[in-house]
């Protein structure tokens, strides 16, 4: 496993990325290796705090997993703990709906992958020379994309829509939190890569450009992803965070690959979650204060949740066996944020 981060053109780092620190064989046998990535919002102090504390709370909750608890159950338990940490602090500061964080999580246990995501941080799988996105973007842009597919909206109009980055789910809102997760373990073949990334990477690189960097050793691949994104020269380049997990080719190949996605639970159509706006220059990721669009958003979410399948795989250059590296976990922030 390896991770890398860059602030981009921002004044501060509001992403967080952590790897599990428990290496004892008995625990890893039933819990696997955990990677967590979060992208905070709500201002410099609040966004940084939300991401760091959500990631830290998630890891700590998962690391008390027992052998009798399944990885999927442990992930859901940790998700509720992390959401409560951010929501409670947002309530104390009086910034509910103005402070939160995305989340992308992966657990690699032998040849099994368990994953979940909330918001627009992504989970990718690359194997057999192909790249596929497993996660679902919880943002208004995903709903606009559905309208394009239905012929209700032009592609250029959707791409130029000012609310396309508005989040429809995030940690820090009242339960239940809209999420996407593996409904069953994804069985990986030897040499597979799992990538977690914040949208600072995917705003700069398309799937083909990402796939081209996934070879060699994990730490070097992380650095290549950062460099490729920075070389795009975006004037509003957001924070970039990437985490890579790699299944060595020495592992025994499973008989098949099963990819299943569970999206649950969805907000009621008559009471949609208030989305957080992510403008083109996302320095603060402040919330939207609009009502009519929120009602339409709730109705569109029902159509969007019915969408099945994943983006078409993208060819990837041949991989070489890599040596996985364990990066140290970041430290907990010393204090809670102040209201802006």
Four-residue CA torsion sign, 278, 284, 290, 291? positive
Q: Output the pLDDT for position 129.
A: 78
* Residue 228 pLDDT: 98
Q: Where are the domains of the chain?
A: 2-250+259-315
pLDDT, residue 191, reads 94
pLDDT given for residue 96 in this prediction: 87
Tokens representing 179 are: 């999420």
Ordered per-residue pLDDT tens for the chain, 340 residues: 999 999 999 999 999 999 997 889 999 999 999 999 999 998 768 999 999 999 999 999 999 999 999 999 999 999 999 999 999 999 999 998 889 999 999 999 999 999 999 999 999 999 987 899 999 999 998 889 889 999 999 999 988 998 888 899 999 999 888 999 999 999 999 999 999 999 999 999 999 999 999 999 999 999 999 999 999 999 999 999 999 999 988 744 444 333 344 444 433 333 334 444 433 333 334 443 333 344 344 433 433 333 333 334 343 333 332 222 223 333 333 344 544 4
**Could you tell me if 107 and 75 are in contact, meaning their C-beta atoms sit under 8 angstroms apart?**
yes
**pLDDT score, position 3:** 97
Helix axes 44-62, 71-93, angle to 10 degrees: 150
In whole angstroms, what separates CA 307 from the centre of its chain?
19
Do 17 and 6 form a contact (C-beta atoms < 8 A)?
no
Strand partners, 108: 33, 113
Cβ–Cβ under 8 Å, residues 119 and 50: no
Q: What is the pLDDT of residue 190?
A: 94
Homologous superfamily (CATH) of 2-250+259-315 is PPM-type phosphatase domain (3.60.40.10)
C-alpha to C-alpha distance for 199 and 202, rounded to whole angstroms: 5
Judged by DSSP in three states, 93 sits in: helix
Q: Which helix H or strand E contains 242, and what residues bound it?
A: strand 240-246
């Amino acid at each position: 496993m390896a991770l890398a981060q860059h602030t981009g053109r921002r004044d501060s780092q509001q992403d967080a990325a952590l790897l599990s620190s428990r290496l004892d064989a008995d625990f890893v046998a039933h819990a696997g290796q955990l990677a967590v990535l979060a992208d905070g919002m709500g201002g410099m102090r609040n966004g940084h705090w939300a991401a760091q504390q959500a990631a830290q709370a998630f890891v700590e909750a998962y690391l008390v997993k027992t052998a009798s608890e399944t990885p999927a159950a442990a992930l859901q338990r940790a998700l509720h703990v992390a959401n409560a940490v951010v929501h409670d602090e947002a309530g104390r500061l009086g910034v509910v709906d103005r402070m939160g964080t995305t989340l992308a999580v992966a657990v690699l246990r032998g040849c099994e992958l368990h994953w979940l995501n909330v918001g627009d941080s992504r989970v990718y799988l690359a194997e057999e020379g192909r790249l596929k996105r497993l996660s679902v973007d919880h943002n208004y842009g995903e709903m606009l994309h559905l309208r394009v597919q239905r012929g209700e909206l032009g592609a250029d109009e959707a791409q130029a829509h000012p609310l396309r980055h508005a989040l429809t789910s995030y940690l820090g809102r009242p339960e239940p939190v809209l999420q996407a997760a593996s409904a069953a373990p994804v069985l990986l073949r030897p040499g597979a890569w799992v990538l977690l990334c914040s949208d600072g990477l995917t705003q700069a690189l398309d799937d083909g450009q990402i796939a081209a960097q996934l070879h060699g050793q994990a730490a070097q691949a992380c650095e290549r992803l950062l460099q490729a994104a920075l070389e795009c020269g975006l004037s509003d380049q957001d924070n970039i965070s990437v985490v890579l997990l790699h299944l060595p080719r020495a592992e025994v190949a499973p008989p098949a690959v099963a990819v299943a996605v569970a999206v649950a639970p969805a907000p009621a159509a008559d009471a949609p979650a208030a989305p957080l706006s992510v403008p083109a220059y996302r320095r603060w990721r402040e919330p939207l204060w609009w009502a009519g669009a929120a009602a339409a958003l709730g109705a569109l979410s029902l159509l969007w949740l019915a969408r099945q399948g994943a983006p078409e795989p993208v060819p990837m250059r041949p991989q070489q066996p890599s040596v996985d590296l364990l990066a140290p976990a970041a430290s907990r922030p010393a204090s809670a944020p102040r209201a802006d």
